[in-house]
Structure 1
Amino acid sequence: MPTRKQVTLKTIANELGLTVQTVLKALKGKPGMSEATRQRIVQTAERLGYYTMEQIRSLRLDRIAPYPSERLRFLLVQTAESVSYNRLLLQGLEDRFFSFGHRIELLMLPQNIKEEHMPSWIEESGMAYADGIFIAPSIIPKVWESYLFALPQPRILLSFPPPGVKIDSVIWDVYEATFQAVSYLHSLGHERIMYVGDIQLQRGFILRWQAFCHAMHVQGIEVDPSQHSIGERFGGGRQWLEELEQKMVDFMPTAIICGIDNEVSIVASLCHKLQWRVPDEVSLVGFLNEQTEDLPLFTRPLLSIRETGYRAADRMLWRLANPTLPFEHIRIQGDFHIGSTTSRPAANGLQSATMRRYNQKS
């Protein structure tokens, strides 16, 4: 890895075809350039191993060597339910660790394993030889967590921590994201807002629902849980889909918040089936991990998944340098993106869609 003496502002400028002044402005956070250019400069500086004096002072305050002589190996452990997150989390971890010369590897936990075999699997996997462990969200079966929490190495949980567990955690703030979604829809004039999202599978899911109820209460809107799709999904089968469709028809919302990434496309498809025009007759907000090409440009909270990985890497280095300090829980707040799936509620709501369906059946 390059040392401080080998990498200068001119090195970065030559790499990007920019002036030294532009590079300096970007690294000092001064205005006068696009955020894309600033990000490209900062990422190149990290890749080349360049640190400003302010960054070096900050690292030294945390007892982290900016140019470590020892290269460390970390693991991101996950199960199949974590896969939708792992690319973004891994990207954030790699981006941060690269500038220190450390490496991060993926380790997939088996799901079809008896609890009594878990300790021996951990031993055989070589997990004990890692310098630190990152625990991905959505670990299934949940009993895995108790064994991972008991590991002697420094551990960072990339999820909301259960009560009483002594572990550092870093997670994107879905509570704030849900609050943003409700507040935005209410600002447009929506009050019949339906929530669709499994609240059973993991701790972050129940927090979304709690935030929805809290935000609706703040806006003076009563929430009847029976009007929302928050129950068990029955493996995503036909029964759940039929119940969801019936709830949508019975409630006739002017807006729907889809709180789980893999349920967004399902709700969009049901709206199409019911001939509900988006956003003219019903507005949709989706908690997408990323915008996909098969969906319209969604109004959505920007979940800071990559940023969570980046910050978690910092927290791991801090924990290694400060093993006796209290555990910390960090939530990363993101912005809210206004897409093409939301608008003010129509005067006649979904009545026109209901009439279209009735006329077709007639």
Structure 2
Amino acid sequence: MSESTRRDIWQAARELGYRTKAQAAGLSAEQIPWVGAGKPRRFATVMAGEGPFYSLQVEGLDRRLHELGHHLVSLVIPARLVGERDSQEWLERSGVLYMDGLFLSPALPYWTEAALLHLPLPKVMINYPPDAVEVDSVIWDVQHAVHLAVNLLVAYAHRHILFIGDIKAQRGFRLRWQSFQAACSRLGLPLQPNEHITDIAANRTESPGMLGARLRESDFTAIVCAVNEDVTWAMASLQAAGLSVPGDVSVIRMDSEVHPLYPDIARPVLLLKEAAERAAELMLRRIANPQLPFEHVRLAGSFLKGASVAAANGMT
């Protein structure tokens, strides 16, 4: 049969609850209950916004929970929540307190995330967890992705790589920067932190000519951009400076979403949907086995070279 027909049959079997002996044994080994083992449960995923980034997570959660016989409700945090009192009032009105378990997405406001983590409900974070917090978590591994990005650039003879991205707003952003520093150290690359653009204000407000001038006055031959907004600014700056990609400068982005203007820029494959599916399994495992130690799962994806990386200094 064709590959597309094979995928359709496999997906239909998953949705109808059919399992091979190996799949059933896997659920048993991980102590994950499904609909045949008890009553359907109702879970909520709490998100900071809407859009493709969150839709992939909802799709993964909803599909896996449905296969295992349970239901999912999606809740978006109102933008007006600005402190602990607002967060507590919203929690009481939203119905969160009556759920069987909660999934916490990335980028939640600090007070809201803290309030959710203190609720006496089973929780799984689809994010890197805060320090010293007892909670299960699943995340697409941006640390691994950064190391893959630097490895690729070094394979193309780049030794001076510029990092552009905010390192303060989110835990995942800080980990990108920390992993970039670790990768440079591992590979013996020169690194002066003050030469990199890690201030979000400077990143978005510098005139386009500033980046071009910085590149012409330095030895940088490649750029790693943390998110798509950084790519937009960097590409406009390179164009204004008359620098081509990848002829003059190689560019890699670390965002999960395809850039609408530059879809061919090299990037890691960040497993958003797969992380959500694994989060659903961890939730049911936690409910069935509350005594087990907490788990922090990182899903490592592959890397797409794209058309934005070339050899440094004309090397082949």
Alignment TM-score > 0.5, same fold: yes
Contact 1:264/1:287 (<8 A) preserved: no
| Counterpart for residue 54 of structure 1 | 22
Q: RMSD value over aligned CA atoms? A: 2.3
Q: Structure 2 residue aligned with 1:127, among 96, 105, 111? A: 96
Structure-2 change in CA distance of 1:319 and 1:162 (3 Å) = same
Partners of 2:261 and 2:124 in 1: CA distance: 34
Task: Tell me how far apart the structure 2 counterparts of residues 326 and 240 of structure 1 sit (CA, whole Å).
Answer: 50
Q: Give me the whole-angstrom Cα distance separating, in 2, the residues matched to 1:38 and 1:254.
A: 45
Query: By how many angstroms is 1:243 displaced?
Result: 5.7
Q: Kindly report which structure 2 residues correspond to 1:204-215, keeping only aligned pairs within 5 A, or say none.
A: 204-215=172-183
Q: 2:270 aligns with which of 303, 318, 325?
A: 303
- 1:272-291 matches, within 5 Å, as 272-291=239-258
Q: Assess if the C-alpha contact under 8 Å between 2:161 and 2:222 holds in 1.
A: yes
Does the aligned pair in 1 maintain the 2:159–2:190 contact within 8 Å?
Answer: no
The equivalent of 1:346 in structure 2 is 313
Q: 2:84 touches 2:115 (CA, 8 Å); kept in 1?
A: no
Task: Quote the Cα distance in structure 1 between the aligned partners of 2:211 and 2:226.
Answer: 14
Decide which of 167, 171, 175 is 1:199's aligned counterpart.
Answer: 167
Q: Is the 8 A contact 1:63 1:321 kept in 2?
A: yes
Distance 1:247 1:143, change over 3 A: farther
Letter in 1 for 2:223: I
Larger displacement relative to structure 2 (211-220 or 245-254): 245-254
Give the Cα–Cα distance (whole angstroms) in 1 for the partners of residues 52 and 196 of structure 2: 25
Between the aligned residues of both structures, percent identity stands at 33
- Aligned to 2:75, the other structure's residue is in SS state strand
- Tell me by how many angstroms 1:37 deviates: 6.0
1:198–1:231 Cα contact (<8 Å) kept: yes
Among 43, 46, 65, the alignment partner of 2:11 is: 43
Using CA pairs below 8 Å that are at least 6 residues apart, which structure has the higher relative contact order? 2
Shift of 1:69: 4.7
Superposed, 1:1-362 pairs within 5 Å as 18=1, 39-61=7-29, 62-65=31-34, 67-80=36-49, 83-113=51-81, 114-140=83-109, 142-233=110-201, 237-239=204-206, 244=211, 247-251=214-218, 253-347=220-314
- CA distance in 1 between counterparts of 2:115 and 2:305 reads 41
Deviations along 1:233-290, one digit per CA (max 9) or x if unpaired, are 37x7534867655544443521111122332222222222222111111111111313
Q: Name the SS for the 1:233 alignment partner.
A: helix
TM-score, normalised relative to structure 2: 0.91
Cα distance in 1 for residues equivalent to 2:274 and 2:253: 19
- Could you say what secondary structure the match of 2:200 adopts? coil
Residues 1:38 and 1:209: Cα distance change in structure 2 (over 3 Å)? farther
Q: Which has the larger radius of gyration?
A: 1
Shift of 1:179: 0.3
- Whole-Å separation in 1 of the counterparts to 2:159 and 2:8: 42
SS in 2 for 1:118: helix
Distance in 2 between residues matched to 1:170 and 1:240, nearest whole Å: 38
Aligned residues: 313
Deviations 1:6-64 (A, max 9, x none): xxxxxxxxxxxx4xxxxxxxxxxxxxx85x66544432221122111122222233051
1-side partners of 2:303 and 2:233: how far apart?
22
